[in-house]
Amino acid sequence: MYTSTIAASLLLFSTAFAAYGAADASTTSTTPSSTASTSPSDPTHTILVGKDTLKFTPNVTFANPGTKLEFHFYPQNHSVAQSSFANPCEPNTNGTSFFSGAVPTTEGANVNVFTVDVNDTKPIWFYCGAPTHCKKGMVGAVNVPADGSKTVEQFAVAAAKIDTTVNVANKEFVCVAS
């Protein structure tokens, strides 16, 4: 039942991306890879979701256009959703953002890997959409500005002040306990 719900959700999101021209980021599911690096020249960057408690590891990655981000999920239930620096814990609504859907995992790395294509060098801000995770600092970024004007630390501080996390799957607000 849950697998069909995830499949239906992913189909719905991929159809929406195709219909609205996902110019900045596209998503696909692939099999796990052992590549792990933050070097911009690598073709694939592995980001571990929840392996070290409520963290993305690494939480900052630099990636050139044409590379891929692979999100590998660990217990218990996490997701990855694209956000903006100005609105942490809230998905982008521009039609080009990504969302993995909830990926429940009981032990070790989940076999399902969420992949995002990097199409340019603009910053990509993301968070875990599970209740309370974003507020507790489960955020990350790709290609943060080199001038230090916007950092993942500043993004996490802003996320900690948020009282609600938008549940992307059904576009409802999930109350977060302070």
Q: What does the pLDDT look like over 86-131, one tens digit per residue?
A: 999 999 888 889 999 999 999 999 999 999 999 999 999 999 999 9
pLDDT of residue 168: 63
DSSP state of 99: B
Across 33-42, 62-71, 104-113, least confident range = 33-42
35-61 b/e (C-beta count within 10 Å ≥ 16 → b): eeeeebebebbbbbbbbeebbbbbbbb
Looking at per-residue confidence, does 84 or 4 come out higher?
84
d(CA 168, CA 61): 23
Residue 33 has pLDDT above 90, yes or no: no
Are the C-beta atoms of residues 128 and 105 closer than 8 Å to each other? no
Are the C-beta atoms of residues 70 and 115 closer than 8 Å to each other? yes
Looking at per-residue confidence, does 163 or 151 come out higher?
151
Q: Which single residue is written with the structure tokens 């073709």?
A: 43
Paired strand residues for 61: 142
DSSP state of 50: S
Are the C-beta atoms of residues 141 and 60 closer than 8 Å to each other? yes
Residue 11 has pLDDT above 60, yes or no: no
d(CA 44, CA 46): 7
Q: Which single residue is written with the structure tokens 């100005």?
A: 86
pLDDT of residue 175: 32
Residue 143 has pLDDT above 80, yes or no: yes
Q: Please report the domains of the chain, with CATH numbers, ordered by start residue.
A: 2-175 (2.60.40.420)
pTM: 0.73
Paired strand residues for 113: 30, 72
